[in-house]
């Protein structure tokens, strides 16, 4: 089978229509239709059934599609590795991370990265639910460690220090809690409880100092770090937020328990292990580590070798 024909077939199957596939491939719709017809002639079978809303895979098409995913992936990987031998880092890099990292933290490093890697282009996908490379069709994820994923390279970047904060106006009206138990009398603002949070128990304010099995009821919920900061600044209540995010936003929120260390969440630069030699993939991670090593939030003791598991996960995995 002609690889280029398979790639066109794969895109049509993904998009569920020839018109959308042509737009993604940046070629004429007639060329896509002709390619599919030629591939069907080569194989002697119909790959799609046509209907008013687009196309649908036939039984033969579903068999080819399951193989085409691997074929296209391996072909793209081979092309990337060959290009990396010939060229410096170049091309488009898509990164999925939390909305806070995307909108607040990561932005500060991109001008320097672009200056160093003039042929690179970055797309950031901010999401506070499932931060999965596969689900988001991304090259890289910046998120907490993923246990049981030995197929991924996971490079330590930084430690987020989540602190309990509120506005001066809110504390003036409702008082400043002196103990964790006093949070029972306060308005807690947090991320939605029903969504899957990829960055650990960031809603720990609901249980901090509460009786076992008696989690607090949120006063207000919003599904992003940016939203949490805005809610606190608008005197909605008490939130848990990374202190670096607060500095970058220029927020004047006040720490409620300044002597309390708070919760720590480590972030990692994560990508498929078969891409470890791709300069396009590794360039941003290497640049971030180079910059982060100069900052107080970087903890050298958290560095791990490829394939190694951080200390806090070893007991859980062995169990």
**Closest to 194 in 3D by CA, of 223, 220, 216, 214:** 223
Q: How many domains does the chain have?
A: 3
Shared-domain flag, residues 277 and 185: no
Domain end (from 86, 116, 144): 86
Token code pair at residue 2: 């002609």
Three-class SS of residue 52? Answer: coil
Q: What is the pLDDT of residues 29-46, one digit of tens each?
A: 999 999 999 999 999 999
Domain end (from 25, 52, 86): 86
Could you write out the DSSP letters of every residue in 106-167? GGGGHHHHHHH-TTEEEEEEE-SS---HHHHT-SEEEES--TT-TTEEEEEEEEEEEEEEE-
pLDDT for position 49: 87
Write the CA distances from 99 to 9, 109, 242, integer angstroms: 34, 16, 13
Shared-domain flag, residues 54 and 24: yes
Shared-domain flag, residues 13 and 153: no
Token code pair at residue 229: 């900061």
pLDDT for position 307: 77
Sign, CA torsion 51/53/57/59: negative
Beta-carbon count within 10 A of 254 CB: 16
Give the CATH number, domain containing residue 179.
3.40.190.10
pTM over 0.85: no
Shared-domain flag, residues 78 and 97: no
Domain end (from 65, 86, 107): 86
Give the CATH number, domain containing residue 55.
1.10.10.10
> Contact, 253 vs 233, CB < 8 A?
yes
Shared-domain flag, residues 176 and 306: no
Q: Count of alpha carbons within 13 Å of 293, Cβ hemisphere only? A: 9
Shared-domain flag, residues 95 and 242: no
Residue 31 contacts by C-beta under 8 Å, 6 or more apart in sequence? 22
Q: pLDDT higher for 221 or 277?
A: 221
Mean pLDDT, rounded, for 47-62: 87
Pairing of β 220-221 and β 189-190: parallel
Only one residue has tokens 């360039």, namely 283
Residue 178 contacts by C-beta under 8 Å, 6 or more apart in sequence? none
Shared-domain flag, residues 279 and 149: yes
Shared-domain flag, residues 23 and 80: yes
pLDDT for position 315: 57
Shared-domain flag, residues 137 and 72: no
Distance CA 144, CA 146 (A): 7
Mean pLDDT, rounded, for 241-264: 90
pLDDT for position 164: 95
Q: What is the pLDDT of residues 188-222, one digit of tens each?
A: 999 887 665 555 566 889 999 999 888 999 999 99
pLDDT for position 202: 67
Shared-domain flag, residues 168 and 235: yes
Q: What is the pLDDT of residues 119-143, one digit of tens each?
A: 999 999 888 766 667 666 789 999 9
Write the CA distances from 182 to 2, 174, 205, 231, 257, integer angstroms: 68, 11, 11, 21, 12
Torsion of CA 175, 179, 180, 185, to 10 degrees: -30
Shared-domain flag, residues 144 and 280: yes
Q: What is the CA radius of gyration of the chain?
A: 24
| Domain span including residue 69 | 3-86
Shared-domain flag, residues 17 and 148: no
- Residue 5: is its pLDDT beyond 60? yes
- Residue 290: is its pLDDT beyond 60? yes
Distance CA 185, CA 192 (A): 20
């Amino acid at each position: 089978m002609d690889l280029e024909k398979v790639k066109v077939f794969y895109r049509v199957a993904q998009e569920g229509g020839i018109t959308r596939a042509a737009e993604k491939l940046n070629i004429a719709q007639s060329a896509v239709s002709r390619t599919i017809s030629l591939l069907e002639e080569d194989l002697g079978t119909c790959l799609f059934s046509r209907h008013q809303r687009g196309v649908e895979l036939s039984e033969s098409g579903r068999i080819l599609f399951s193989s085409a995913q691997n074929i296209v992936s391996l072909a793209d990987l081979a092309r990337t590795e060959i290009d990396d031998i010939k060229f410096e880092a170049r091309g488009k890099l898509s990164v999925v991370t939390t909305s806070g990292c995307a909108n607040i933290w990561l932005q500060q490093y991109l001008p320097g990265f672009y200056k160093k890697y003039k042929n690179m282009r970055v797309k950031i996908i901010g999401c506070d639910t499932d931060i999965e490379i596969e689900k988001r069709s991304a090259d890289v994820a910046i998120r907490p460690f993923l246990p049981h994923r030995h197929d991924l390279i996971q490079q330590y970047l930084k430690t987020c220090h989540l602190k309990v904060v509120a506005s001066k106006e809110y504390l003036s009206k409702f008082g400043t809690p002196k103990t964790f138990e006093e949070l029972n009398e306060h308005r807690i603002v947090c991320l939605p409880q029903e969504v899957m949070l990829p960055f650990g128990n960031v809603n720990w304010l609901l249980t901090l100092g509460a009786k076992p099995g008696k989690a607090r009821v949120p006063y207000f919920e919003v599904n992003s770090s940016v939203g949490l900061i805005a809610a606190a600044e608008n005197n909605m209540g008490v939130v848990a937020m990374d202190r670096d995010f607060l500095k970058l936003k220029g927020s004047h929120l006040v720490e409620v328990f300044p002597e309390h260390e708070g919760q720590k969440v480590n972030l990692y630069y994560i990508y498929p292990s078969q891409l470890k030699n791709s300069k396009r993939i590794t360039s941003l991670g290497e640049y971030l580590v180079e910059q982060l090593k100069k900052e107080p939030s970087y903890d050298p003791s958290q560095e791990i070798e490829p394939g190694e598991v951080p200390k806090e996960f070893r007991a859980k995995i062995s169990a």
